[in-house]
Amino acid sequence: MTVKDRIVATLTRELRPEALEVLDESHQHAGHMGSRPSGESHFRVRVTAEAFAGRSRVDRHRAINALLADELRPDGIHALAIEAWAPGEAGR
Amino acid sequence: MMPESGWRQGRAATRKDDTMPSAHETIDTEVKNNDVVLFMKGTPQFPMCGFSGQCVQILDYLGVPYKGVNVLDDAELRQGIKEYTNWPTIPQLYVKGEFVGGCDIIREMFQSGELATHFTGAGVPVKQTANG
């Protein structure tokens, strides 16, 4: 199971998102600080979920970071970009 | 939230000198004594990570005075800021002692104009907004 698969599985299970996109952007950072020979270092999550309605950006990011804490250990992935929306919000 | 619950113990084990302030105390002092603090990898002149570099560009564009704190200078600080904020990634922006967000949030707020509003609302002068 790839890191991306695990992220998709966790967020799908915990957030029941209306929309979810997980992008492995590691190739864009090859050779940069934090890149790893195995790839799988930089990810972007775009997620729309009812759970985010009425919550601040910081709260939304903290919720996702907490769900993905296993991946964010110091020896885990280097970067997680987050775009988190409630249903119906503009910005996507 | 982070699995390492014992950073205080880890710090004690690696501290060189009991008179040195802890990472927590150092962070506390920085965010209370400076209106705008960016905890980052590298320095505003030489960012060592693209995400830190983006935040530097935004702050420089807005023309707000800020202090950059390089977490790569100190392993305790690098771990300590994650626990202090309950935020697992760097960069992290503090305004008037309050955590505002990481790179994604800063960029979103900048693009929507909220960041400039946040600064002026906090009494921090801004030279220009995202829309010029």
- Return per-residue pLDDT of chain A as tens, 92 residues: 899 999 999 999 999 999 999 999 988 776 666 666 667 889 999 999 999 999 999 999 999 999 999 998 878 898 899 999 999 986 55
Residue among B73, B72, B70, B55 at smallest CA distance from B110: B55
Beta bridge partners of A21: A46
Whether B15 contacts B7, CB under 8 Å: no
Q: Which amino acid is at A89?
A: E
End-to-end CA distance of chain B: 39
* pLDDT for B8 beyond 60: no
- Measured CA to CA, the distance from residue A58 to residue B34 in angstroms comes to 21
Does any CB of chain A come closer than 8 Å to the CB of residue B91?
A: no
B75–chain A nearest CA distance, Å: 12
The pLDDT score that the predictor gives to residue A26 is: 87
> What are the strands of the beta sheet with B67-70, ordered from one edge?
B67-70, B36-40, B92-95, B98-101
Q: How many domains does chain A have?
A: 1
* pLDDT for B11 beyond 90: no
E strand or H helix at B9: helix B7-14
CATH of the domain at A38: 3.30.300.90
b/e per residue, B5-32, with b = 16+ CB within 10 A?
eebeeebeeeeeeeeeebbbebbeebbe
Percent of chain B with pLDDT over 70: 83
Residue A89 burial (CB count, 10 A): 11
Q: Do A69 and B86 touch (CB under 8 A)?
A: no
Instruction: Kindly state the tokens that stand for B73.
Output: 């200078």
Digit-coded pLDDT (tens) for B51-63: 999 999 999 999 9
Instruction: Flag whether A13 is in a domain.
Output: yes
Instruction: Kindly state the tokens that stand for B59.
Output: 């702050």
Instruction: Flag whether A28 is in a domain.
Output: yes
Instruction: Flag whether A24 is in a domain.
Output: yes
Q: Which domain holds residue A16?
A: 3-85
Residue B85 burial (CB count, 10 A): 20
Q: What's the distance, CA B25 to chain centroid?
A: 15
Does any CB of chain A come closer than 8 Å to the CB of residue B50?
A: yes
Instruction: Kindly state the tokens that stand for A20.
Output: 């979810």
The pLDDT score that the predictor gives to residue A30 is: 66
Instruction: Flag whether A55 is in a domain.
Output: yes
Instruction: Flag whether A81 is in a domain.
Output: yes
User: Which residues of chain B lie closer than 8 angstroms to A82, CB-CB?
Assistant: 104
Taking CA–CA distances from B106, the nearest residue in chain A reads: A57
Q: Do B50 and A82 touch (CB under 8 A)?
A: no
Task: Quote the Cα angle for A24-A1-A3, to 5°.
Answer: 30
Instruction: Flag whether A92 is in a domain.
Output: no
Does any CB of chain B come closer than 8 Å to the CB of residue A29?
A: yes
Digit-coded pLDDT (tens) for A72-81: 887 889 889 9
Q: If you search the block for the tokens 């983006």, which residue do you land on?
A: B54
Residue among A60, A48, A61 at smallest CA distance from A87: A48
Residue B67 exposure: Cα atoms within 13 Å on the Cβ side = 16
Average pLDDT over residues B63-86: 96
Nearest to B88 among A29, A65, A83 (CB): A65
* pLDDT for B127 beyond 60: yes
Which of A45-54, B14-23, B46-55, B97-106 shows the lowest per-residue confidence on average (mean pLDDT)? Answer: B14-23
Does any CB of chain B come closer than 8 Å to the CB of residue A72?
A: yes
Instruction: Flag whether A90 is in a domain.
Output: no
